Amino acid sequence: MKTIGRTEFLGILIIGIISFTMSIVSAQPDEIIINDSRIFKHPQRTPVRFPHGLHMGTVPSCKDCHHVYRDGKNVLDESELTEGNPKILCSSCHALNKADGRLGLMDAFHIQCIGCHRELALKGKKPGPRLCGQCHPWR
């Protein structure tokens, strides 16, 4: 029985990590429609077309957007970020209105998205939309 050397082992490990990472990344659609009609019964604005693929290419870490906070620390297990997992939806933790010290769902969306876009603008980088109609166009 042949044993593998350290270099071969590291090569196999790196390939495995890359394959695992790509399986997570490629499992996500390029565009997501944010339309939680279960919570927003009578929305005043249109759903948001969120370019997930664009963000995956520009945001350094999935945890910059996705989070599960415990004791002020983001303890999200990134392996849970799979398409169709209801636990990764903002509405799984954020209710329509503020509750249990958590932001309401609409505030959570707006603070997360617009806050990041404002930071980019302040740093002189190309920001994303920051006005209502840019994310919620009229029907």
pLDDT for the residue numbered 117: 96
Nearest to 120 by CA among 107, 109, 129: 129
Joined tokens for residue 67: 């989070």
d(CA 130, CA 115): 9
pLDDT, tens digit, 9 for 90 and up, residues 41-55? 888 889 999 999 999
pLDDT for the residue numbered 78: 93
Write down the pTM of the prediction: 0.71
3-state SS of 66-104? Answer: CCCEECCEECCCHHHCCCCCHHHCHHHCCCCCCECCECC
**Tokens 């990590």 correspond to what residue?**
17
Nearest to 92 by CA among 47, 38, 133: 38
**Tokens 């009229």 correspond to what residue?**
138
Q: How many CB atoms lie within 10 A of CB 126?
A: 8
Per-domain boundaries in the chain: 30-135
- CATH 3.90.10.10 fits domain 30-135: yes
For the chain, give the number of residues. 139
pLDDT, tens digit, 9 for 90 and up, residues 96-123? 999 988 999 999 999 999 999 999 999 9
Confirm if 47 and 33 have CB atoms less than 8 A apart.
yes
pLDDT for the residue numbered 119: 95
